[in-house]
Amino acid sequence: MSDQKRPSVLIIDDHPEDQTAAIAVLKHTGLDVEVCLPNKLVDDHLRRADVVAIDQYYEWDLVPHPDEIAYWPQDGLALAAVVSRRLAALKSHAAIVLRTGELGRLAGNLPRAARVPLLSAQSGLDWILEKGEDENASPKLHQLAAGAASLRPFIHDQSSWNEGAAWLNLAESAPWSDSALAEVQVCRPPEHVVARYTAGNAWLRWFAHRVLPFPSFLISDLKAATLLGIGLRELQSIVSDSESEMGEELRNIVYTGHLSGLVDRRWWRAGIESFVDTALLDSSEDLEVAEALSDYYERLHGSPVTLLPHVHPVVTIDADYAEDGVADAMECVRLAPDLWPVFADEPWALRDDAMEIPDLAAMVSRGDRGRLHPMDVTS
């Protein structure tokens, strides 16, 4: 074990005796773990923590506190706000995570596919973990603690930051690394004054809330497959084939940096785009784009690879912001959903779906609204 401090998690719970199993799992992943009652929390707890994990509900009749409403938090969200302000006073910068069994009630009508990051942002939290998913909670806490702890050295020595390449685990040897960092910059990361002021927490929240959930410099399996011009199952089959040279090259484009475990697999967009460019440059100039891709993919994979039938394929989303398929752009309308980052890819939906689903129709961007109600040419 190196001299570097292990990432630390502080769990605030009114039943610490119930956390034995969770503590054992977290320690096994390489974390230091402390558990304390909410009324026993002191500054030293906060100074040591990289993540403060707070339960949503407390049995306050079991935990002594003042009766005046202004002197005790009603629930975990209120306690998180108190902890956040105390961390600021201490100039300490742990990530704050809420643990709840009522995510649906807290999130209300927020779109399901993005409700965790959106609710986290609205509540001043770094992330929310849903109880009942214990097998996923420990790895996610580890990801958050390690991500927060790993930002500290860069804040004190900005010369080693290199636009976040090390934290993002972007291999500088990758021929597309400069393009990837340029795409990171397009998303306006807080890496200067704001990052120093928050000891990196602003970067952590920006990445967790604005980058991971939406297609920008990191993209989903479906988006990566679509950029490659192939179907989702085709991509997954190729990547899982250990004998495929194409699969091997694509596996090197998967995002493996901090917080990669918070969401489903993500890919470096720049890497996927570079892969397609190489395919086109390596094929005969006499071939059309689809033919050139098919020829290159077959040579690299060792067997035919089926391409998408669409001329201009786009990934579509539903009213909950979940990717739900691929269609030709001519069959779709552009959307302008609430809280969708301006730097993220423009979202699309099938025109027929938007005509039938009111919640989806409400998201259609101004320029495409006329396509939902075409003029009656017979009138």
Per-residue pLDDT of 340-363, as tens digits, reads: 999 999 999 999 999 999 999 999
Q: Which residues contact 142 (CB under 8 A, 6 or more apart)?
A: 7, 26, 29, 30, 31, 261
Is 7 strand, coil or helix?
coil
CA angle 41, 43, 47 (to 5 degrees): 115
CA angle 320, 323, 324 (to 5 degrees): 95
Q: Residue 275 — very low, low, confident or very high, per pLDDT cuts 50/70/90?
A: very high
Q: Which residues contact 25 (CB under 8 A, 6 or more apart)?
A: 138
Q: Where are the beta strands (DSSP E) in 75-186?
A: 95-100, 127-130
Give pLDDT, residue 151.
87
Q: What is the pLDDT of residues 285-326, one digit of tens each?
A: 888 999 999 999 999 999 999 999 999 999 999 999 999 999
Instruction: For tokens 């017979």, name the residue.
Output: 378
Query: Which strands form 323-328's sheet, in the order they lie side by side?
Result: 323-328, 313-317, 348-350, 332-334
Model confidence, pTM? 0.92
Reference 261, options 218, 321, 323, 212; nearest CA is: 212
CA-CA distance, 356 to 107, in Å (whole number)? 25
Element (H, E) at 226: helix 221-228
Burial of 19 (C-beta count, 10 Å sphere; 0-12/13-18/19+):
middle
DSSP 74: S
Q: What is the pLDDT of residues 68-115, one digit of tens each?
A: 888 888 899 999 999 999 998 998 889 999 999 999 999 999 999 999
> For residue 173, how many C-alpha atoms fall within 13 Å in the half-sphere facing its CB?
1
Q: Are 137 and 99 in contact (CB under 8 A)?
A: yes
The secondary structure of the chain in percent helix, strand, coil, rounded to multiples of 5, reads: 50, 15, 40
Bridge partners (DSSP) listed for residue 313? 328
Instruction: Give the whole-number percent of the chain exceeding pLDDT 70.
Output: 93
